[in-house]
Amino acid sequence: MTVHETKPGVWKSGKGKGRHTPKGRQVEDLAWDEIRTLLGGAPRCRDLLIEYLHLIQDKYGCLNAAHMRALAEEMRLSMAEIYEVATFYAHFDVVKEGEIPPPALTIRVCDSLSCELAGAQALKAALEDGLDPAEVRVLRAPCMGRCDTAPVLELGHRHIDHATPEKVKNAIHAGITHAHIPKYETYAEYAANGGYETLRSLRLSGDWEEVQDKVLASGLRGLGGAGFPSGKKWGFVRANEGPRYLAVNGDEGEPGTFKDRYYLERVPHLFLEGMLIAAWAVEAEKVFIYMRDEYPAVLHILAKEIKALETAGILAPGFIDLRRGAGAYICGEESAMIESIEGKRGMPRHRPPFVAQVGIFGRPTLVHNVETLHWVARVCREGPEVLSSTELNGRKGLRSFSVSGRVKKPGVHLLPSGSTIMDVIGACGGMLGGHSFKAYQPGGPSSGLLPASINDVPLDFDTLQPLGSFIGSAAVVVLSDHDSAKAAALNMLRFFEDESCGQCTPCRVGCEKAVKLMQADTWDQPLLEELCVAMGDASICGLGQAAPNPIRLTMKHFPDEV
């Protein structure tokens, strides 16, 4: 007789103790009920995972292990998939068993360049000293797209411009933690001024190629930063069999950029009409708007105005899917944005294939920046001349410069594309009193820093490349004799270090090593240059490829500082 036959219970161990459950974390009934109630009748589709993580984070203030396990069960996903997505995004707080959840209130203090120039570090330190950490936590955060009112922070979902500890204490005292919704042009107001007439007539009898030609004639180029001729993309997408999608890039994460927010908080329907014209042109089956979580007022405005369009019969319910980012700059890169729309980590894809061929759910996808679509509407309504009739320094068109730093009137300034930095500073009323112009970031940290001596170059697509820079999203930050170019470059690399998605070693490790080397009193320039070569040559996407720009331009133009 064998041991197994003499002992009752499970044969494998022979201990007589059968396992009642599968191995691993168990689903807790209460947590499962809570998740089911929260999701209600919403479809359990994988691409909605980030939306559902937001629902849990908003309601419970964090993502605890029991809720994540229950969500995995409910969505028929593995716990590992839920966990890897939740931990990718900065706005989710994953709390494992035995860990303490975050306090009810979170303050995020922006520490990107314009806010740092305006005293963000001192502000953060003062808040940490003056508030009870059991009630309020103070975190650092990247640019919130309000650089013209630096320093800025977000208290719950309330942004505080020109922030001070007093303003924060008053807001906490008054319980003001929700987004302020600015006054904007509503559907009724836009429609009363002829809005959506262009879309209506195009849908009735328009020729998409004529519209494409108009857009090409206007000279409109992608205002997300890459500058690809906008009309051309439509043909590329249409060359692929449907169904096709349109994805709107509202991530606006490049520090210093706030033009998309500027237009969306004032005239959202110009963008919405342009978006529907582009969707019509490529016969998109559905439109996804990917809007950054840092813009709660915009999310509110868009949700409301999309409803108004549905009610007015301009679009079918569900045609537009408004998605909320979750705090990841890299999701502005178009293929990372598509991964995020599919409910995954925002990791850029290898190309080819390009998103025009294989985009959302493997279908051909047209991707456009918010401001690009704003101009599509204006070009269709007012003709290509609205852009092409402006000429300066041999360049045609207009450009919305987001300007911040040491100027008198920071903000969005619509100027000719051929404007130089002196024109931009002039439009801002000149330098702040007591400051003299020293350097400028022409188009976000990816464009690095140029010295004040390079002041006669048009800030347009293609004009800055010979200088080792580019205009990108036209996020201009002006530095003065009070500022250090070396410190500004370090701020930029810290941003890239935080925001690298980490899938390529040269970018993930390179940004981290660069920050270490740049913190030294004297930079090891040959070693930094070697690092720059590796990062530029071997990174998959624009983040890692452009991260060397601030390093190289600072070594070249500000050798005394490094």
Ligand X SMILES: Cc1cc2nc3c(=O)[nH]c(=O)nc-3n(C[C@H](O)[C@H](O)[C@H](O)COP(=O)(O)O)c2cc1C
How far is the first Cα of the chain from the last one, in angstroms, to the nearest whole number?
A: 82
Residue from 145, 151, 219, 222 that binds ligand X (CB under 6 A)? 222
224 binds ligand X (CB under 6 A): yes
Cβ-Cβ contacts under 8 Å for 379 (sequence gap 6 or more): 214, 215, 218, 220, 386, 387
Written as six digits, the tokens of 11 are: 């044969």
Neighbours of 93 (CB within 10 A): 18
Task: Give the separation between CA 448 and CA 505, rounded to whole angstroms.
Answer: 22
Q: Choose among ligand SF4, ligand X, ligand FES, none what residue 226 binds, the Cβ cut-off being 5 to 8 Å by kind.
A: ligand X
User: Residues 273, 197: contact at Cβ < 8 Å?
Assistant: no
Q: Choose among ligand FES, ligand SF4, ligand X, none what residue 254 binds, the Cβ cut-off being 5 to 8 Å by kind.
A: ligand X
Instruction: With contacts defined by CB under 6 A, name the span among 307-315, 416-424, 517-525, 540-548 that binds ligand X.
Output: 540-548
Work out how close the CB of 53 gets to ligand FES at its nearest, in angstroms, rounded to a whole number. 25
Q: Choose among ligand SF4, ligand FES, ligand X, none what residue 223 binds, the Cβ cut-off being 5 to 8 Å by kind.
A: ligand X
369 binds ligand X (CB under 6 A): yes
Work out how close the CB of 265 gets to ligand X at its nearest, in angstroms, rounded to a whole number. 16
Q: 230-238 vs 268-281: helix axis angle to the nearest 10?
A: 40
460 binds ligand X (CB under 6 A): no
CA angle 25, 29, 35 (to 5 degrees): 90
Residue from 544, 551, 554, 558 that binds ligand SF4 (CB under 6 A)? 544
367 binds ligand X (CB under 6 A): yes
Q: For the residues of 198-224, what is the DSSP string, one character each?
A: HHHHHHHH--HHHHHHHHHHHT-B-TT
Q: Binding to ligand FES (CB under 6 A): which residues in 245-264?
A: 255
Task: Give the separation between CA 197 and CA 88, rounded to whole angstroms.
Answer: 43
Task: Give the separation between CA 254 and CA 231, rounded to whole angstroms.
Answer: 24
Which residue stretches of 324-396 are H helix? 334-341, 370-382, 385-388
Closest CA to 440 of 429, 430, 452, 428: 452
Q: Choose among ligand SF4, ligand X, ligand FES, none what residue 228 binds, the Cβ cut-off being 5 to 8 Å by kind.
A: ligand X
Residue from 48, 56, 66, 150 that binds ligand FES (CB under 6 A)? 150
Could you tell me which residues are beta bridge partners of residue 395?
A: 392
Residue from 54, 91, 124, 146 that binds ligand FES (CB under 6 A)? 146
508 binds ligand SF4 (CB under 6 A): yes
Instruction: With contacts defined by CB under 6 A, name the span among 241-249, 432-440, 470-478, 536-544 that binds ligand SF4.
Output: 536-544
Work out how close the CB of 512 gets to ligand X at its nearest, in angstroms, rounded to a whole number. 17
Residue from 202, 501, 514, 551 that binds ligand SF4 (CB under 6 A)? 501
Q: Which x/- pattern over 306-345 shows residues binding ligand SF4 (rule: CB under 6 A)?
A: ------------------------x---------------
Q: Binding to ligand X (CB under 6 A): which residues in 499-538?
A: none
User: Residues 208, 234: contact at Cβ < 8 Å?
Assistant: yes
Q: Choose among ligand X, ligand FES, ligand SF4, none what residue 167 binds, the Cβ cut-off being 5 to 8 Å by kind.
A: none
**Pairing assessment for the beta strands 94-95 and 244-250 based on DSSP bridges:** unpaired
Closest CA to 225 of 254, 268, 267, 262: 254
User: Can you give the binding site for ligand X, defined by CB under 6 A?
Assistant: 222-226, 228, 249, 251-254, 330, 332-334, 367-369, 372, 541-543
Contact residues for ligand FES, defined by CB under 6 A: 110, 112-115, 143-144, 146-147, 150, 152, 255
